[in-house]
Amino acid sequence: MLAEIITIGDEILIGQIVDTNSAWIAQQLNAIGVRVKQISSVSDSKEHILTALSEAKNRANIIIITGGLGPTKDDITKKTIAEYFNVGMVQNQQALDNVAKIFAKYNRPLLEVNIKQAEIPANCEVIVNHNGTAPGMWFNVDGKVYVSMPGVPHEMMYMVEESVIPKLKATFKLPVITHKTILTVGEGESFLAEKIADIEDSLPSHIKLAYLPKLGSVRLRLSAYGENEETLQQEIKLYADQIMMRVGRSVVTDVDVPIEKAILDEMADKGLTLSVAESCTGGYISHLFTQHAGSSQVFLGGAISYSYDLKESMLGVKNETLWSHGAVSEETVTEMVEGALINLKSDYAIAVTGVAGPGGGSDDKPVGTVWIAVANKNKTVARKFTFGKKRIQNIERTAITGMGMLINLLRENS
């Protein structure tokens, strides 16, 4: 069963907003066995929308549309869809009652422009919007299902979860799709591909392997398609186990979570605590950990020590170390990580110091030079890395690489 997602709005095409709707919708469709064939973004233009709809019906059984359903003149999706199906517009009482209810709740007058939001193409079934005034619309024409929803994310999400997914399940006989994700760190995509090439070649046609690289890490996702969920899960586990055995210590987890969440879960299970000493990452590592609920069970806190003075006062780095070796050095990062262990009283610590860029580099320490250290009470490991010249990427790579080093130290002691 194939689907296509069409997002409508000039604001997407000029980069004013990021299209997060498509990614979220694709996840929900995938979970019920619907494979997304294509995702398109088109402008607020009748001709472009009509073309997109005409092309989509030749590729997919389900066409999901978001955007262009507001009360203003540039919101033309409803009328364009009515023209596409060659039907007129009618006022829907259910949609009108919903609009009136919302305006009464906030004691606001119901304007003509708001009343017109209850007008819909004559051949559609209304999907009530319990979080806004623009109704969703469901069309079932010639065996194809078209669903049009507002572009406002929270309005669209409630419609998908409460109405669209249940209706799709009732309308189509859907296959089973199951996934298994293996998170790796420290090895590049091409190296991993070469390492597991024979395993990938042995996969049956209904199981696919995808490589999802990110700075410093690669997710390997196995996807199995079929009719029996239990059989698929057994098959996919067999191949996942082979891959993990082959990849070895580069594997962080076989649960689809980011690396910092895998670390928090593993340390929580072992009753361990963590602190950080950040210079060039400026609190980014702390942010990654603390964005997850329950992180306080493991993460005690950290020091963001850009200056020499703060490295000394907060972490106990020696003045002579800083002036003899500089902030970006093995000696300094070692004293930073060991100072975090002592002063923040944690079981493990990560410390980073480097030249994030774009300026500040030198001949012996060019932009992208980073020292990372991890430690517990028994062992300290410090390594030098040379990343690129882009500041944000250097910060992200430093964080992920430091977490990879922490994972290795954790498992070395388990």
CATH of segment(s) 259-412? 3.90.950.20
Non-local CB neighbours of 255 within 8 Å, separated by 6+ positions: 181, 183, 262
Backbone angles phi, psi at 138, to 5 degrees: -120, 125
Residue that wins the pLDDT comparison between 384 and 105: 384
In CATH terms, is domain 176-253 a member of 3.30.70.2860?
yes
What percent of the chain stands above pLDDT 90? 83
Render 125-145 in DSSP notation, one character per residue: EEE--TTSSSPEEEEEETTEE
Distance CA 372, CA 369 (A): 10
User: What distance lies between CA 105 and its chain's CA centroid?
Assistant: 35
Question: CATH 3.90.950.20 region(s) of the chain?
Answer: 259-412
CATH superfamily, region 2-171? MoaB/Mog-like domain (3.40.980.10)
Predicted confidence at residue 413, as pLDDT, reads: 65
Tell me which residue of 66, 62, 9, 17 sits closest to 38, measured CA to CA. 62
Confidence of residue 74 (pLDDT cuts 50, 70, 90): low
Query: Tell me: the pLDDT tens digits for 87-104?
Result: 999 999 998 898 888 888
What percent of the chain stands above pLDDT 70? 99
Predicted confidence at residue 100, as pLDDT, reads: 87
Q: Is pLDDT above 70 for 366?
A: yes
Query: Tell me: the pLDDT tens digits for 226-278?
Result: 989 899 999 999 999 999 999 998 999 999 999 999 999 999 999 999 999 99
Distance CA 94, CA 125 (A): 10
Q: What is the mean pLDDT of residues 363-377?
A: 96
Predicted confidence at residue 231, as pLDDT, reads: 95
Query: Tell me: the pLDDT tens digits for 23-70?
Result: 999 999 998 999 999 999 999 999 999 999 999 999 999 999 999 887
